[in-house]
Structure 1
Amino acid sequence: MTRNLPGWLKNLLLGEMPARHRRAWLVLLWTLLVLVPFADYSLGRSAFHLNLYPVPVALSIFLFGHPGLFSVLILLVFYHLVQVGLQLEAHAVLLNNLAQLALTYVVGLLCTWLVDSYRALYEEKSKLASTRHELLLSLTHELRNPLFAIRGIVRNLARNLKRMPEDQVVLQLNEAQAAIATINRDVEGLTQVFRVDLCGLEPQIKPTKIREIFNAVLKRHPIEFAPQHPIVIASHCDQDKIVSVDPLLVQQSLDNLVSNAIRHTDNGRITLNFESREGRNLFSVEDEGPGIPQQDRERIFERHDQGSREKAMGFGVGLYLVRLYAEAQGGRVGVEEGAVGARFIIDLPEETS
């Protein structure tokens, strides 16, 4: 957007400049304002106003926005009132100049809006480019481990397949499938973040059975992929209850939480639960890992934050998406200390609008 502009003009247009450059522009602005009466007196009013007024006005907009525009025009109005008081300017000329200043103010407001819009667009584009860069770097880092695991498994099978017992071959293939599933979930999460950023999120609320949601999550995490992490449903959970939610968003949220638990715990059971309490639908995922430190319990739901658990937390979009999905349905997400590890809770209203 500003690639072909000179550096000084780009900095002025975007309002991003070192303090010494800003001071230099301020000196120029005040110099122009001082030259107004001098040029007015020396060159004559007939040609001066239309030619020089836009210069300090435009500079004030770039430096200070609307307050700068307003301040400069007030100074110019004051100057003309002084001219009339000193009988250097007739009342008829004063009215003409005030009308001209009023028109300048209207045009200046339009220019201020254009400058503000351009700066906001540039900032949004810069943030999007920075976010895309961070995500791609993180994704590259995160995909390296499962890809290395798959390569190691394939090499081992290629060299030793004939000598390996059948159960060992099955175990190796399950590990490879689990690594592929990890890659798939990471790519899905990245794609979903970009989709939400570009298109927003419109939940599709409909009556859904708890059992259907939980079964969909269990299918995504077969026991063969992570035998050290059995996924169970709490014994007291009423799976036949029907709730009004977006089933896909809830399923994806629980899926992300289960994936997060598998990544961050060496072993132990992962428990899915649902309960209805005081007009709220509470979905929870509880692990038997090290838990979440108190200081991390808010920021882990921010984009790209990885908290301070010992293992890496994906590329920081899984929990961020859980928060977005909950908020889109009028709810919230939080984490608390569980019986052993951490308990993540998706809190949704019973009647989601």
Structure 2
Amino acid sequence: MFLNSRVVALVLAVVVAIVTTAFLSLVPDVSEQGLLVTALLSFAATYLLVYITFEFLVFKEIGEIYKVLNKMRKKDFSFIDAGDASDTNNPLKRINREIYTYGVNRNKEIEDLRKLEAFRREFLADVSHELKTPVFAAQGFVHTLLDGAVDDKKVRKKFLKRAAKSLDNLDALIHDLLTLSQIETGEIKMHMEHFDIVRTAHEVIDQLENKVEKKGLTIGFDREYSEPIFVHADAERIYRVLMNLVSNSVKYTDNGNIEVGIETEENEVKVFIRDTGVGIPPEDLSRIFERFFRVDKSRSKEGGGTGLGLAIVKHILEAHETQVNVTSTVKKGSIFSFKLPIGQSTQEMEEEARLELELLEQEDA
């Protein structure tokens, strides 16, 4: 039997009209005309009330629930309503919205699991490849020496140097992987202190100056910094961040210059590294901080590195509750920047400590 609001309303209206008329007929002196009017009125009122109630409060919402379930079966989640399930008194509407929420949450979980699975496969493939390269290289040099080349002094020295370099690359890769893992699991804690970011940036520039000169580039500050600028952060980790970002700029710049700039804002210090390198395509900007991701794999291999530098930068800055930003134009260059809380100089901290001590002495007095 096909059941809808009209059928339910008609059946209930007929039943109510019959029952009402039957009871009214038991009353003495009620005319047939009165019974007819009573039957018609009770029928009409019951029909309208039941029809409206079932049509708009029950069957319509049940129909919507079925539509939602059908779309969920087809994995179509474009229907999701962001409304609050508690903003209506209709229980069926609340159920419908709960299904909406359940559907979008389950879909998000499924998509996240798929992304994690894809990331896991890609990560394992990348790690295997990155580990295999230096291991096979060192293995090849050592086996060549064992096969007889060890008797030739020139060949022996050259091959041992190459094997040592391959093992050094392997050691750097393992060290970076361990660093990333320890930061993510919280094993490496940030030791916050007040230090001069200008001095730290100067040390990084001095460290990379010879490498920059070999490529025919120039490196330096965007302007002269005659006064120190203090930040509150982990000095060792921020040095690593600057080293990785500046090294990355040097790697991808063939001509021009690399500049380090520092801007003081209200409660923050912004540090940026600007280069005139090859730039990053827009479609790769969202992935450059992934482990082992390289925009140009062949150039990256030639330039060395473990492919984990930017990933380490991202995780260190996240541990400082900040993030690295990048803007880039292909063939024109890139700008990497991040912000740190403004710090205090030694004199300022001493003055602050002196004032606190005076206040305590006044309170004791």
TM-score normalised by length of structure 2: 0.51
Cα pair distance change 1:274/1:68, threshold 3 Å = closer
1:58 paired with 2:65, answer yes
Verify: 1:175 aligned to 2:165, yes or no.
yes
2:84 & 2:220 partners in 1: Cα distance? 65
Deviations 1:202-247 (A, max 9, x none): 976431355678879999x9x9xxxx78xx9959888986432333
Other-structure match for 1:22: none
SS of the aligned residue for 1:134 comes to helix
Equivalent in 220, 232, 244 of residue 232 of structure 2? 244
Question: In the aligned structure 1, how far is the partner of 2:316 from the partner of 2:205?
Answer: 16
User: Could you tell me which amino acid in structure 2 is paired with residue 117 of structure 1?
Assistant: N
The answer (yes or no) to whether the contact 1:69–1:108 under 8 Å persists in 2 is no
Please say if 1:282 is aligned against 2:271: yes
- Tell me the number of residue pairs that the alignment of Structure 1 and Structure 2 aligns: 273
Is the partner of 2:134 in helix, strand or coil? helix
Find the aligned partners of 1:131 and 1:294 in 2 and give their Cα distance: 22
Measured in 1, the distance between the counterparts of 2:262 and 2:111 equals 43
Shift of 1:132: 1.9
Is 2:299 the partner of 1:311? yes
Aligned 8 A contact 1:153 1:176 in 2: no
Is the Cα–Cα contact under 8 Å of residues 149 and 176 in structure 1 kept in the other structure? yes
Q: Could you tell me the percent identity over the aligned residues?
A: 16
1:256 matched to which residue of 2? 244
CA offset at residue 127 of structure 1? 1.9
User: What's the secondary structure of 1:311's corresponding residue?
Assistant: helix
Summarize the alignment of residues 1-353 of structure 1 with structure 2, pairs less than 5 Å apart: 35-37=3-5, 40=8, 56-62=63-69, 63=71, 64-66=79-81, 102-159=90-147, 160-164=149-153, 168=158, 171-184=161-174, 187-188=177-178, 191=181, 195=184, 205-210=192-197, 242-257=230-245, 260=248, 275-279=261-265, 280-282=269-271, 284=273, 291-293=277-279, 295=281, 299=285, 302-304=288-290, 306-308=294-296, 310-312=298-300, 318-323=309-314, 325-326=316-317, 329-330=321-322, 332-334=324-326, 345-349=336-340, 351=342
Contact 2:58 2:92 in 1 (8 A): no
The amino acid across from 2:5 in the alignment is: P
TM-score by length of 1: 0.52
Letter in 1 for 2:167: Q
The letter of the residue matching 1:121 is E
Q: Is the 8 A contact 1:147 1:179 kept in 2?
A: no
Q: Deviations over 1:155-189 (max 9, x none)?
A: 24444345335864663354133321343256347
- Asked whether the equivalents of residues 281 and 347 of structure 1 are also in contact (C-alpha less than 8 Å), the reply is yes
Residues 179/349 of structure 1: CA separation in 2 closer, same or farther (3 Å cut): closer
Q: 1:335 to 1:106 in 2, by over 3 A?
A: closer
Take 1:187 and 1:43, find their aligned partners in 2: how far apart are those partners?
74
Q: Provide structure 1 residue ranges, at least 5 long, that are not aligned to the other structure.
A: 1-33, 75-100
- Secondary structure of 1:208's counterpart equals strand
Q: Distance in 1 between matches of 2:145 and 2:192?
A: 47
CA contact (8 A) 1:330 1:349 kept: yes
Q: Letter of the 1:183 partner, please give it.
A: L
Change (3 A) 1:158 1:298: same
Tell me which residue corresponds to 2:49.
none
What are the Cα deviations for residues 44-89 of structure 1, in whole angstroms up to 9, with x where unaligned? 699xx7998885343233333449999xxx9xxxxxxxxxxxxxxx
Q: 1:298 to 1:172 in 2, by over 3 A?
A: closer
Contact 2:180 2:312 in 1 (8 A): no
Higher gyration radius (CA): 2
Unaligned runs of 5+ in 2: 16-53, 72-78, 344-365
Paired letter, 1:128:
L
For 1:335 and 1:187, locate their aligned partners in 2 and report how far apart those are by CA, in whole Å.
27
Whole-angstrom CA distance in 2 between matches of 1:264 and 1:182:
20
2:125 maps to a residue whose letter is L
| Higher alpha-carbon deviation: 342-351 or 110-119 | 342-351
RMSD (Å) for aligned C-alpha atoms: 5.7
Note closer, same or farther for the CA distance 1:274–1:65 as it changes in structure 2 (3 Å cut).
Answer: closer
Letter in 1 for 2:262: S
Instruction: Supply the distance in 1 between the matched residues of 2:140 and 2:335 (Cα, whole angstroms).
Output: 34
- When residues 299 and 345 of structure 1 are mapped into structure 2, their CA distance, relative to the original with a 3 A threshold, is closer
Alpha-carbon separation, structure 2, partners of 1:296 and 1:53 = 47
Q: Structure 1: how far apart are the matches of 2:250 and 2:134?
A: 14
